[in-house]
Every structure is written in structure tokens, then in C-alpha cells.
Chains A and B, each alone.
Chain A
């Protein structure tokens, strides 16, 4: 690999641009191909788009029969947590370990403080405004933790209108029942509402905030990978 390719790749990752490193296996020749790159050969443009979508590298022969290794580098996964509550503290730490970019939204500045969430992106606007500014794409998960419909519901509305890969909402079955009623009244269909995991997390008997965070991380991972 040429040093220039390495530094361009590192820069693309820092700028969160999806890119594929293509390596011709017979001689180690390498080039970077971006998702937006339409100048590359047709087979390569198609293959680049596929490996980025699958987020999985592969060896593929070009039209001349030469084998290439295509290695996708997608921007990090993202977790948007609504509610800077106790559970959000271990959850944001665990998500960082699993390579998520974490954003915590809570207009209550006593909760969303740097002391409670060192190094985490904190947004203290109201959830509807805050969510509007975030691109909830297929590599994003949304978890609501406030227990307060005034705060949780705008986040769930935004999540349900997006293709995000995971939506979780903290609350008991009873709480979730009333939530479903509110969302139905707001015009969401049964199928749409079924995207929400509520009660949130895998049923592992979690009790403490950290254990609940583990159950949420496990469920997010399951949705992402299976």
C-alpha cells in the first residue's frame, strides 16, 4: 500500500465518507473508490455500492478475470439516546466500546451535563428540533429512555419516519400499551409501531442500569447482524 493511499483513507474515515479500498491481488495495486465516484469502471462502481451496503468485504474477479479484494469502510454506527437518565450513562459507554458515535438528547440541562456524560455529544434542544437535525439512516439506532411522553414521543415519531435499523423505548408493558395508543392516534400503522422494541432490550432479567444497557446493546446488535 502506498503511504498516500493510507493517509487518504484515514482522512476519508475522519470525514465520515463511505469508501472502498480496492486491491488487485496479483500485484497489490490499490485504489480508493467512493460511493459517489462514477468515473471508475462499471463493474467496480456496482461492486463498491454492494459491499458498502452489505458492510462486508469480498474477493471479486474483474471482467479480465483478475481478482480484487474490495474492503468497505463505512462511517461508524450511530446511537441516538433520548433522555440523559441513569441508564444512558452505561449505555453510552458501552455503545462507544462497540464503535458507535453516540448522541444524547435531553433539554433538561441538569441531566445532560458534561460531568455525567464526559466525551459524549450532548444536545439540549427539544427532541423534535434535535431529531430533525440528525440524519437517521440505516446505520443509526434510536433509544428513548425518558419515560415522559412529552420528550419520548417526538423522538419516536422521527425514528418511525426514518429507515433507522433499531428503535427501542424504555417502559413496562403497561407504559408501552399507552404509548401504542398515542402513536396510533398520531396516525402510525400497526406495522410501523411494531418496529419499536418495548419493553426495550433482550429479556435477560436485567436489573441495574448497566445490566439494562447490556440488554439494549444485545438487542441492537441482534437487529443489526441477524
Chain B
């Protein structure tokens, strides 16, 4: 069975690392974001991941869609040799409220570029 090449379906959400690895093999630059801690009613559990490609295509999720935009922007900034970074989002933080973690939870996310070639 042939996989549709550019379709990113719900099914792929637990194949985030595999997708990241394939993008790397195709010559793309890739970053990963991972939920490392949560407090309160966080939308996605610890360990949830998002893979971001250099053209801003992404797969997976680290929230219910609330903060992905900000995470993707930060990830893209790291693709040319940036370092890993831990970012905290929550209602107590005015900036985070702007990007919209409206569920009242708080989460810490690690964002890191993948270095080297596959």
C-alpha cells in the first residue's frame, strides 16, 4: 500500500519522531518540541511531541492548538544552530495568555533543533 506523501493525518500524531526522521532524510531542517511538565488542566500529557519542518509544516501536538503557533515560531528560529530552550506557558503569564492557553493549565515545553544529517 502506498502512503500519500504529503498528507498529515490524525493517524500520524503518534508517529511524530518517525515523521521528523523522514523529513530529515528528505533534506529538511527539523526541530522538536516536547511537553516536559504540566500543572492543572493541561491539554496534552507529558511526553507529547510536535515536529516542525523548515517550511513551517508541523505534525503532532503539545496543546489542543492553543500554543502551537508560538512554539512553531520559536522552533523555526532555532533551525540555524540555535540551542535547546525550555519555555513555560500558563495563565499566570501575560504573554502566554496572549498566545492562548485558555484552559487554565500551565505547561513547560522543551524546544530543540535536530542537529546534523540523517
Residues in A with CB closer than 8 Å to B86 are 25
Q: How far is the CB of B83 from chain A (nearest CB, A)?
A: 6
- A28: Cβ under 8 A from any B Cβ: yes
Interface residues on B, range: 20 to 34
> Which of B34, B113, B114 meets A71, CB within 8 Å?
B34
**A97 near B21: Cβ-Cβ < 8 Å:** no
**A6 near B46: Cβ-Cβ < 8 Å:** no
Q: Is the interface of B mostly helix, strand, loop or mixed?
A: mixed
Residues in A with CB closer than 8 Å to B18 are 10, 13
Q: Once bound together, how far apart are the Cα atoms of A25 and B47, in whole Å?
A: 14
Q: How far is the CB of A173 from chain B (nearest CB, A)?
A: 37
**B116 near A10: Cβ-Cβ < 8 Å:** no
**A1 near B45: Cβ-Cβ < 8 Å:** no
Contact with B along A61-74 (1 / 0, CB 8 A): 00000000101100
Smallest CB gap from B83: residue in A: A28
**A59 near B114: Cβ-Cβ < 8 Å:** no
Q: How far is the CB of A93 from chain B (nearest CB, A)?
A: 11
- A56: Cβ under 8 A from any B Cβ: yes
Contact with A along B94-118 (1 / 0, CB 8 A): 0000000000000010101111111
**B17 near A6: Cβ-Cβ < 8 Å:** yes
**A10 near B47: Cβ-Cβ < 8 Å:** no
Q: Once bound together, how far apart are the Cα atoms of A3 and B114, in whole Å?
A: 6
- A7: Cβ under 8 A from any B Cβ: yes
**B11 near A59: Cβ-Cβ < 8 Å:** no
**B46 near A57: Cβ-Cβ < 8 Å:** yes
Q: Once bound together, how far apart are the Cα atoms of A27 and B110, in whole Å?
A: 11
Q: Once bound together, how far apart are the Cα atoms of A13 and B24, in whole Å?
A: 17
Contact with B along A1-45 (1 / 0, CB 8 A): 111101101100100000000010101100000000000000000
Which A residues have a C-beta under 8 Å from some C-beta of B? Answer: 1-4, 6-7, 9-10, 13, 23, 25, 27-28, 56-59, 69, 71-72, 97, 99, 119
Which B residues have a C-beta under 8 Å from some C-beta of A? Answer: 1, 10-11, 14, 17-18, 20-21, 24, 32, 34, 36-37, 45-47, 83-84, 86, 108, 110, 112-118
Q: Which 5 A-B pairs have the closest CB atoms?
A: A28-B84, A3-B116, A57-B47, A69-B36, A57-B46
Other 20 A-B pairs with CB < 8 A, given A1-B32, A13-B18: A1-B112, A1-B113, A1-B114, A3-B114, A3-B118, A6-B17, A6-B20, A6-B21, A6-B114, A7-B21, A9-B17, A10-B17, A13-B17, A25-B36, A58-B46, A59-B36, A71-B36, A71-B46, A97-B10, A97-B11
